[in-house]
Each structure stands twice: as C-alpha cells, then as structure tokens.
Amino acid sequence: MRVESVIAVPASDTVGPTRLRLLTARTGKLPVVVVADGTSGPDYHVMTMTELQTALTNQLSATPLGEVLDLAGRSPRTPVGKADVAAAAVGTPVVENGRLIGVVLDDKVEVPEPTEQDLQRGAPSTRGQSAEPADAASGRKRGLWSRVTGTGR
C-alpha cells in the first residue's frame, strides 16, 4: 500500500472555480477528495478526476459542490493515520496532525527490467537487410544534405 497525494476541494466551493482547478491540475490521475464540514469534524468524499468532472458537466458555475454531488446522501470515508496505512482499504483518506496528506492506493505495478533477449531485438545487426541504408552496399556514406535533398548520387 502507498499514500498518493490528492487534489483536495472544499464542498463549499462552486462548480466554476473547481472546473478551472481540475483543468489546471498537474495530472488527471490524482484522486480528488471533496472535504465537507461534518458534525464531528471534516467529512472526506474520495472520487476520481473523471467521476468529478462528469458530475460537474452541465452544472451552473455558481452551484456549490455539496449540492451537485449530493454529499448529504453519500457516506463519507473514515480517515486513518499514517501509521495505520497498511491495514486500511484502498481509497481511504490519510490524515496527519489534522491535515489531509493523501489517499491509500495499491502499490505501483513494477515493470520488469529488460532481458538480454529484449536488448538483442533492438540491435541493428538483428533487424535484417531492410533496415540498412541503400548506399551501404556501395560502401559510400550519405551526408545530411544529401539525405534531405535526395541528391549526392
């Protein structure tokens, strides 16, 4: 499990500035947490960027997010501390010293390192005759200008 940073948006914000904030976000892959004022502290509603953008489509710019997303009808996620991340479910908000620091996500999938066979596939000697330049048979090298203009023969 890992803690991924989030885009935190207050539920009292309106649709217009929130759309602008989502459009200027550094990435669309970050989770979005809508923070609402609850009876016993902040309520955290975790969403994906596409889910929130879909909900904001065709909404008036002055409408608060709490109304658009119907946060009163949704159950908020209970946050965990940084020490309890390993036992938390995916999508759980992580809070440290009363501040939202991220959301629990699965570990990143590791890409295997290339093997010798993978490296050999890209070597020029293994690509065959069609990958070599036409002038290779004559032993003459073509310069940059002759490649661009097609002259030099």
pLDDT, one tens digit per residue, over 109-148 is 666 777 777 667 665 554 455 545 555 555 666 665 655 6
Q: What is the mean pLDDT of residues 27-36?
A: 87
Residue 131 in any domain: the answer is: no
Residue 76 belongs to domain spanning: 2-105
For residue range 53-111, list pLDDT tens digits in order: 888 888 999 999 999 999 988 899 999 999 999 899 999 999 999 899 999 988 766 66
Residue 49 in any domain: the answer is: yes
Residue 153 in any domain: the answer is: no
- CB-based contacts of 35-41 (< 8 A; 24+ apart in sequence): 35/8, 35/9, 35/10, 35/11, 35/100, 36/10, 36/11, 36/66, 36/71, 36/76, 37/11, 37/12, 38/76
Residue 57 in any domain: the answer is: yes
Residue 84 in any domain: the answer is: yes
Of 19-23, 34-38, 70-74, 77-81, minimum mean pLDDT range: 19-23
Cα–Cα distance list, 91 to 48, 58, 143 (Å):
10, 27, 57
Residue 128 in any domain: the answer is: no
Residue 95 in any domain: the answer is: yes
Residue 143 in any domain: the answer is: no
Say how far apart CA 76 and CA 45 lie, in whole Å: 5
Over 90: is that where the pLDDT of 35 sits?
yes
Return the number of other C-beta atoms located less than 10 Å from residue 142's C-beta.
15
- Residue 35 has φ and ψ, to the nearest 5°, of -105, 120
The secondary structure element, H or E, covering residue 35 is strand 32-38
Residue 131 vs residue 27, higher pLDDT: 27
Say how far apart CA 119 and CA 45 lie, in whole Å: 46
What CATH number did the domain enclosing 82 receive? 3.10.580.10
Residue 49 vs residue 115, higher pLDDT: 49
Say how far apart CA 152 and CA 147 lie, in whole Å: 8
Please give the model's pTM, rounded to 2 decimal places.
Answer: 0.66
What total number of domains does the chain contain? 1
- Is beta strand 99-105 parallel, antiparallel or unpaired with respect to 32-38? unpaired
pLDDT confidence tier of residue 19, bands split at 50, 70 and 90 = confident
Say how far apart CA 149 and CA 153 lie, in whole Å: 11
Instruction: Write the CB contacts of 108 (distance below 8 Å, at least 6 apart in sequence).
Output: 2
DSSP summary character for residue 134: G
Over 70: is that where the pLDDT of 150 sits?
no
